[in-house]
Each structure stands twice: as structure tokens, then as C-alpha cells.
Structure 1
Amino acid sequence: FVALTTEFKVDVEAYLSTLTWKEGVTPMKTLQDITDYNAAHPDTELNVLGQSLTLRSLNSPNQTSSVYLDALALCQDLDVTNGIEKYIKDT
């Protein structure tokens, strides 16, 4: 889950950095901006899903941390070496 939350934050912020905002619209430049906006508007923004994934992503390690790198290596091992790709190759 660490790899997911870290990459979610990185990818959302990369996407937000490509946007141009119309005048009068509150610009969202970071994941923190989004969670702050959602918290300020809970009736319209948090009524269905909440923002637990977003909050966990805010506190996730960066992509150079050993925690993230270990989690990524585990995901790759489970997927490629011992997971679906191995199953497909072996069948």
C-alpha cells in the first residue's frame, strides 16, 4: 500500500502542475490543496467517499525513501517474479 499511496501523491501533483486555472477558480497545485478544499467543503466533497486515501498519501514516504523502495521491490517481486507474470509464463 506504501507504493500506491506514494505514487498516487506524485502522480496527482504532476498532473496538477500541468493545469492552467481560469480566473476566479481556486487553483489546486498540490494534494494538500485538494484535501484542504475537501475539508472546507465536506457536504459537497466528502459525502460519498471521504478522503482516507488522500490523507494516507499525504503522509506517504517520498520516492527515494527506503520504505518506498522496499515496498516497490516487494510489489515487483509479487507481480513479476512470483505473481501474475510467472503464472502466465508457466501456463
Structure 2
Amino acid sequence: MEIKKAALAGTLESSDVQVMISPNESGLTIDLVSDVKKQFGKAIVARVKQVLSDYDIRHATVKIVDKGALDSVIKARTITAVQRALDIVEEPKWEVL
């Protein structure tokens, strides 16, 4: 699927994550900012990539600002940002959940 507009989900509060997605014609770019990047960076990026793959998104720029979020929060925020970016908030892809 193709990203229609830039979208954001999440906050910068402790134990949350902010996920920003915007269109990118030259592939997939993921930028992670996290205090725990050294320990959990690969797992965070893998979760985001998995959600993007579930939506068949191959071209996007994703910026993740993690403040110690759990895996389920990362997944939920990414799904929300993707649905907003694809403009399918009213018709979610239930099989991804």
C-alpha cells in the first residue's frame, strides 16, 4: 500500500513511543531515537517493520522516538500511525491486530 499523507501516533511521555510516518519514494527508511536503543533497538525496529509488512508498505520514512514503551505499545502506535497515513482509520485491517 502507498502512504497517502504524513501521520503521527503516540506521545513523548515516559513509557510511550511516538511514531511518525511519511511518504518516501525511494524505499523504507527507519530512524530510531531511544535511550534503550543499545539493548532493545533491534527489537523495536523489527516490530515496526513487521507492522509495515502486514500492511504491505515498502516505501515510507518512519521516525520512532521511544521513551521506554512495551512491545504492545510500539505495535499499537505503529498500527495507528499507519492507518492514519493510509487514511483507513474508519476501515481498519483487522487481521493485523
Q: Which has the higher helix share?
A: 1
- Compute the TM-score of the two structures, normalised by the length of structure 1: 0.26
Structure of greater relative contact order (alpha carbons < 8 Å, 6+ residues apart): 2
Which one has the largest radius of gyration? Answer: 1
Q: Which has the higher strand share?
A: 2
